Amino acid sequence: MNDRRFSADVRPDSYQPPTSVEELLARYAIGERYFEETDLPDGSNLVGATLAGVNLRRSFMFDADFSGADLHGAIIESCNIKCGRFQNANLEGASLRHCAVESTEWDGANLEGVSFEGCGAYGYTFKEGERP
């Protein structure tokens, strides 16, 4: 398949970020993976969502709940994910480099192979191998 919207790394022609959780999930369901610069509404509910391999680079997700979500292999870099909840989420192999991660919850999350390098919380910057 050579459709640009199915690649997490290539910006699709005429790309516009989704403006709601419902739009994000609907576009993901038809195969889109590129969602850079998404500004999800505060308090977005993505509990149990399947977003494996998604690209959310440079997105804003304040108070978003990803508990139990499948985010393995996701690219969530240079994002503001303050007050985010990721309890019991699968983030295996995801990249969360250079994100703001203050007041985030990770209990029970699968963080195998996740990189938090360059993430910041309360004035501290995480080094490779460190986790919030």
Name, in order, each residue with C-beta under 8 angstroms of 37's C-beta and a sequence gap of 6 or more: 17, 57, 58, 59
Tokens of 124: 């501290």
* Letter string b/e over residues 21-52, b meaning 16 or more CB atoms within 10 A of that residue's CB: beebeebbeeebbbbbebebeeebebeebebb
Instruction: Identify the residue whose tokens are 């919030």.
Output: 132
CA distance 54 to 121: 24
Q: What is the pLDDT of residues 43-85, one digit of tens each?
A: 999 999 999 999 999 999 999 999 999 999 999 999 999 999 9
- Name the band, by pLDDT with cuts 50, 70 and 90, for residue 11: confident
Token representation of residue 35? 């969602």
